[in-house]
Amino acid sequence: MFDGSRQSNNFTANVSGIGHSARIAISDVAMKGASLDEVRAVTGHEIGHYVLGHIWRMVITFSLLAILLFFLADRLFGRIARIFGSDAEVGDPRGFPVMMFILSLFGFLALPVQNYLVRTGETEADLYSVQTVNLPDAMASALVKTAEYRNPRPHPVEEFLFYSHPSVERRVRAAMEWKAAHPPAEKPSPE
Ligand SMILES: [Zn+2]
């Protein structure tokens, strides 16, 4: 449990690290506001990120993306500098503002790609949680608590461009669809 309430009232948890340094951190806000089943469902989600190798996937894809951005910045630097009326080359300190412009522009354009990757991981981790912990109701009620700080029903275009997590509405629906498809085993009749 980490002292998340020092920074915000967000109901949040995360997993980070690799090997022996891996750990799941749950904000004290979430720990205080959640039922035991909600903590189980959320922990199942975070374990999913680790088990499914999302940390490595992020490290590798974001590194490749950064290499691509710097490669393009290098190739297009001269042309873009001319637009700003500068004759600076890529290694010239005078061209630094142009480099910052290029990197922020490309970073902005790459945002949907980045968000798409992260959202895919979130969907997979949600699925891992219901498959292993099988608490779709607790998953859904925990998700609803994140709607305090996250628009639960964004426009699909807004979600595609700017959301690092699938909408709360979509995630709750997925949990409920799982529940509908996996009814609890019938209890033996008490005779
Ligand atoms: Zn997650």
Residue spans per domain, the chain: 56-181
Ligand 1 center to residue 103 CA distance, Å? 27
**Residue 114 in tokens:** 């980045």
Ligand 1 center to residue 13 CA distance, Å? 8
Residue 15: per-residue pLDDT: 92
Q: Taking a C-beta distance cutoff of 8 angstroms, is the pair 171, 143 a contact?
A: yes
Ligand 1 center to residue 105 CA distance, Å? 27
pLDDT at 191 over 70: no
Quick: pLDDT tens for 26-53.
999 988 989 999 999 999 999 999 999 9
Ligand 1 center to residue 15 CA distance, Å? 8
Residue 51: per-residue pLDDT: 94
Using the 8-state DSSP alphabet, how is residue 182 labeled?
S
Ligand 1 center to residue 45 CA distance, Å? 6
Residue 183, phi-psi category: left (phi > 0), alpha (psi -120 to 50), beta (remainder): beta
Return the amino acid letter for 159: E
2, 16, 64, 162, 170 from 150: Cα distances, Å: 21, 22, 29, 12, 13
Ligand 1 center to residue 47 CA distance, Å? 9
Quick: pLDDT tens for 118-176.
999 999 999 999 999 999 999 999 999 988 888 888 998 888 888 888 999 999 999 99
Residues whose CB is less than 8 angstroms from the CB of residue 144 and which lie 6 or more positions away in sequence, other chains included? 152, 168, 172
Residue 151: per-residue pLDDT: 86
Residue 188: per-residue pLDDT: 63
Residue 161: per-residue pLDDT: 87
